[in-house]
Amino acid sequence: MKIQWLGHSAFRLETAKANILIDPFFTGNPSFEGQDRASAAKDVSHIVVTHGHGDHVGDTAEIAKETGATVISNYDLCMWLGHHAGVEKLDPTNTGGTVHHDGFSVTFVNALHSSAHITSDGVSHCLGNANGIVVHFDDEPTLLHMGDTDIFSDMALIEELHKPEIGIVPIGDRFTMGGAVAALACRRYFNFSSVIPCHFGTFPIIDQTADKFVAAMEGEAGKVRTQDVGDWLEL
């Protein structure tokens, strides 16, 4: 499996059977500037969205309509994308549910966060619960993208049920766990072989580097795979 960080919480996963975007926030994303949107969206087969905030939904509707990709997200957000944004290929699910596609499945797990769309007149529209996602592949390591979240003790159940080998972890503080707490979550509740930090360096009000996270990982710092935006990992 190849994993490309596209800034903030956005990732592209490539396997033999699928090209998957997670939380494709490109337009308006300062950390995506200088990257190629067409390349990031090329031949995308699926888009998985963890929750309804604009910095995660991002370009989902546009890319889905351009590529014909199937959007996988919670029921409320899927219905909103269908009704308000004209997305046709939707596979709705919800917390605890699993959907199956060719070569992989996606299970939606808990995250401690909010999920809403704020209209231009300041009205907040709830778009279901925030989630993390576990992606089980037929022939690749299992991956957990935590979405936006704080630490919570039931992360231990996610480990017990799914045993993810790759963890994508928000570390930027203010809206998610900070580096030290994110490291505690990884060390206490998971047995990741590789950990990829995200949700940092995008806006001035969140942490700009992964330094606090790497330092707090202590003896497990060797598991951390930091990337520059646009970089690929092969795992």
Task: Provide CATH code, domain 2-227.
Answer: 3.60.15.10
State residue 158's pLDDT score: 98
- In the chain, domain spans: 2-227
Question: Is the pLDDT reported for residue 22 higher than 90?
Answer: yes
pLDDT (tens digit per residue) in 160-206? 999 999 999 999 999 999 999 999 999 999 999 999 999 999 999 99
Answer yes or no: is pLDDT of 11 > 90.
Answer: yes
pLDDT of residue 89: 98
Angle made by CA atoms 99, 139, 64, in degrees to the nearest 5: 45
Q: What percent of the chain has pLDDT over 70?
A: 100
pLDDT of 104 > 90? The answer is yes
Q: How high is the pLDDT of residue 61?
A: 98
pLDDT at 62 over 90: yes
Average confidence score pLDDT of the chain: 97
Please give the average per-residue pLDDT across 129-137, as a whole number: 98
Which pLDDT does position 209 carry in this prediction?
A: 98
pLDDT band (50, 70, 90) for residue 120: confident
Rounded CA separation 189/157 (Å): 8
Q: What is the pLDDT of residue 119?
A: 87
The pLDDT of residue 24 is: 98
